Amino acid sequence: MTTEEKTKTKTLGKAAISLNGVGKKFSNTQVLEGISLDVSEGEIVALLGRSGCGKSTLLNIISGLLPFDQGTVSIEGVISKNYTDWHSIAYMFQEDRLLPWRSIIENVCLSLETGSSSFNERRQRAMKVLKIVGLEQVAHAWPYQLSGGMRSRAALARSLVINPSILLMDEPFSKLDPLTRSLMHTEVLRLQRERKVSVLLVTHDVEEAVVLADRIVVLAPSPGRVATIEPNQLSHPRVPTDPLVAEKIRQLRLKV
Amino acid sequence: MSIINQHWSLILQRLVLVSVFVIVWWLASLQMPAFILPGPQRVIEAVRRLFETPSFLNDVSATFRRVLLGFTLAMIVGATLGLLLGANKILARFFEPVLAVINTVSSAIWAIFAIIWFGISDATTVFVVFMTAMPLILTNVWQGVQTVDRQYIQLALSLRMSKLAILRKIVFPSILPYFFSSARLAFGFGWRVSLVAETIGASEGIGYRLRQAADLVQTDQVFAWTLLLVMMMLFIESSVLKPLEKRLFRWKATT
């Protein structure tokens, strides 16, 4: 096993995330089986699948929140058990999870509070990111005062403020209305290109996967496993009404 | 503009309520001997005399001292135990009956026990206040711990926060509303039961003076103390508790 791990590490030069035969059991149910996939640096990979095929479980495993039973997870070429630089991974959840008792800027600062930066440094960095996502006007507002789209931006800011090299996203826009969602897509693409973040995006929305991802991994349920991996080289911006994009969406729907 | 109007209309309503009360009281007092129902002027006069009594400040501060001491101890112990029980299900299941028993024992019974154990001393009142306030705070903090949102904990874990940081940044703020409302309730209860304890277990303090006045059939004195107590509670409520609540929970949507 160790020799295997070592060779794996060597060949992994350019992979931000590399999964090799990852499996997970909850009591006696196998939820994930033999998941192998790579996310290259600066790539957006979408994990597409119906609910219950273990997409979120996989993200929790990669983020180190959940132990797993089989296989290996490597992050930036390091087996995740030995990986110490967890601060380069940001996790954006399905819900915005803004702490209601903190103002927007304080929520963004939360990500930095495990580091060694001073209060003023944190504030400055948070404000910078809030400007990028267009929330500087409401930096001192309470979460309840913001719309769903703004809260989602705040959550994005909280993820980006640590300058992550890897961004894990668990259906982060599924609760937004279609218009706001597509605005957030544009935003994510812009930021991802500027910052060269590697993104692993979990979604059940085929359109979202096609619009955002460079590669789409389709998961099959019970147990969750990789069904197909679909490259996606359409040029940006991808508009769902564009015939090429629409065709891609149609094709992919048949595979999910 | 309409908010200001509402505000004034509320003040007017309160004034009407107070005047009606005073008038009814006054009319009723005309029909009865003063030792049963003294009239408003008599009671005001009694209040004035109270202020002039040399022991007045001493009595008030004695009661306050006991209530605050018992209440502070109750907050510390109640919050700590509540956190422990909230964090540990086995511990919680084991101690749950104890809490039920403590909650069913009336504060008058605690007062009697306190007399037996501590005699006529500050400890008697402090103990009764503590035994009344502590379970309230404990139960609420414990409940609060159980309502801490798992999603926030997961967020904190994804940010690699330490256990201590999670306690400070997620758990404490989550249970603060529970803690505050229970502390407020507990203070009110503690304050009331302290008088019960003082009537039998003290040689100074408001409760002691109340019983003394009753024993000597100085009904106007009893009324005067009651009036003062109500005023003091209203004052604490409006000058400490309300503003504190507003400040602590300004992040909550007001509906």
Among A114, A144, A145, the residue with its CB nearest the CB of B159 is A114
Query: Where are the domains positioned within chain A?
Result: 3-253
Residues B135 and B78 sit within 8 Å (Cβ to Cβ): yes
Given a contact cutoff of 8 angstroms between Cβ atoms, the answer to whether A45 and A199 are in contact is yes
For residues A149 and A187, what is the distance between their CA atoms, to the nearest angstrom?
12
Chain B: closest CA distance from residue A87 (Å): 7
Instruction: Please tell me the distance in Å from A199's CA to the nearest CA on chain B.
Output: 16
| Mean pLDDT value across residues A53-73 | 89
Reduce the DSSP state of residue A165 to 3 states and report it: coil
* Angle at CA of residue A169, ends A163 and A175, nearest 5°: 125
pLDDT for residue B255:
55
Contact of B161 with chain A, judged by CB distance below 8 Å, is answered with yes
- What's the rounded Cα separation, in Å, for the pair A174 and A160? 19
Contact criterion met (CB below 8 Å) for A50 and A256: yes
User: Do A203 and A171 touch, CB atoms closer than 8 A?
Assistant: yes
Q: Where are the domains of chain B?
A: 1-33, 40-248
The two tokens of residue A129 are 């990111």
Question: Would you call B30 an interface residue with chain A, using a CB distance cutoff of 8 Å?
Answer: no
Terminal-to-terminal C-alpha distance of chain A: 34
Q: Give the least confident one: A7-11, A42-46, B59-63.
A: A7-11
Closest CA to A249 of A221, A215, A208: A208
Which pLDDT score, from 0 to 100, does residue A175 have? Answer: 80
CA distance A38 to A43: 10
d(CA B219, CA B225): 10
Which three-class secondary structure state does DSSP give residue A199?
A: strand
CB-based burial label for B205 (10 Å; 0-12, 13-18, 19+): buried
What was the pLDDT predicted at A2?
43
Identify the DSSP state of B147.
T
* pLDDT over 90 at B224, yes or no: yes
Residue B141 has pLDDT above 90, yes or no: yes
- What residues of chain A lie within 8 A of the CB of B252, using their CB? 100, 144
Check residue B70 and give its pLDDT.
Answer: 95
Helix (H) or strand (E) holding A60: helix A55-62
Residues A11-29 have a mean pLDDT of: 80
Q: Element (H or E) spanning B150, and its range?
A: helix B150-158
Is the pLDDT at A84 greater than 90? The verdict is no
In the structure, what pLDDT confidence band is assigned to residue A4 with cuts at 50, 70 and 90? very low
Phi, psi of B192 (to 5 degrees): -70, -45
B-chain CB neighbours of A143 within 8 Å are 251
Q: With cut-offs at 50, 70 and 90, classify the pLDDT of residue A7.
A: very low
Q: What is the pTM of this model?
A: 0.82
Q: Which three-class secondary structure state does DSSP give residue A167?
A: strand
Q: Domain A3-253 falls in which CATH fold?
A: Rossmann fold (3.40.50)
Distance CA A44, CA A216 (A): 9
> Closest chain B residue to A93 measured between Cα atoms?
B155
Q: Chain B residue closest to A114 (CA)? A: B161
pLDDT in tens, B34-63: 888 999 999 999 999 999 988 999 999 999
**A139-163, pLDDT tens digit by residue?**
999 999 999 889 999 999 999 999 8
The CATH architecture annotation of domain B40-248 reads Orthogonal Bundle (1.10)
Residue B16 to residue B57: CA distance in whole angstroms: 32
